[in-house]
Amino acid sequence: MTAILKREIKSFFASPIAYLVIGVFLLLNALFLWVFKGNFNIFDNGFADLNSFFQLAPWILIFLIPAITMKSFADEKKLGTLELLLTKPLSSLEIVLGKYFAALLLAVIALIPTILYVITIWQLGNPVGNLDMGSTLGSYFGLLFLMASYTAVGTFASTLSSNQIVAFIVAVFISFFLYYGFEGISNLFGSIAYFISGFGMKAHFDSISRGVIDSRDIIYFLSVCTLFIVLTSLRITNK
């Protein structure tokens, strides 16, 4: 698994993918949070907090993480190297995990520079340091779980086609539905709306973002990751 992870990381940074993903993620967040006028602009909100960032980031990641994962297995299938990879002394699960953790690591690297936002908001507070760190840390924790789930979905989607664009679109659709779809349709179910929305990632992300780590939220995200990783492993085994 480690060999696959190292190979994937080298592949990301040997091409423009890693730099584009990190650059686009940081640029889009910076523009919406500090430059463009609107609901996400921190200065317009008048509050020294990062709620705008944690509302915006999940939507940007819905597109950026599939851009990272779309080549994971689609490229292997297109080049005909998947069969060769499966002959290595590695189980299909180890191959999947190697590619999964490499993509997740790149996504986490893109998130690290946003710590500068925390420092900036800390300084802008009145008084300085007037920032709810419990909620902020919880939101970062929730983002990590979201990224892990999006990555699992994207890795699975990359096994469905040898075309990277198709893999990207499928990953975006599944991620969007899992993040917002259940909440979007929950209002159609009246008295059980809360129960239906609980199947979506957004409800659990919002819960963690309040600064209270609930084991149910952690189990939910781990279950989503496990489900798609297992499906990916089964998919490449029964290709």
Output the six-digit token pair for 39. Answer: 């609901």
Three-class secondary structure of residue 50 per DSSP? coil
- Binned average pLDDT, 10 residues per bin, the chain of 239 residues: 85 85 91 85 76 92 94 84 79 92 94 90 74 86 96 95 93 95 82 85 90 88 96 86
How many Cβ atoms are within 10 Å of 130's Cβ, its own excluded?
13
Q: Which of 171, 198, 146 is nearest to 73 (CA)?
A: 171
Domain boundaries, the chain: 1-238
Question: What integer pLDDT is reported at residue 133 of this predicted model?
Answer: 82
Say what the pLDDT of residue 225 is: 97
**pLDDT of res. 158:** 94
Look up the pTM and report it: 0.92
The pLDDT score that the predictor gives to residue 239 is 60
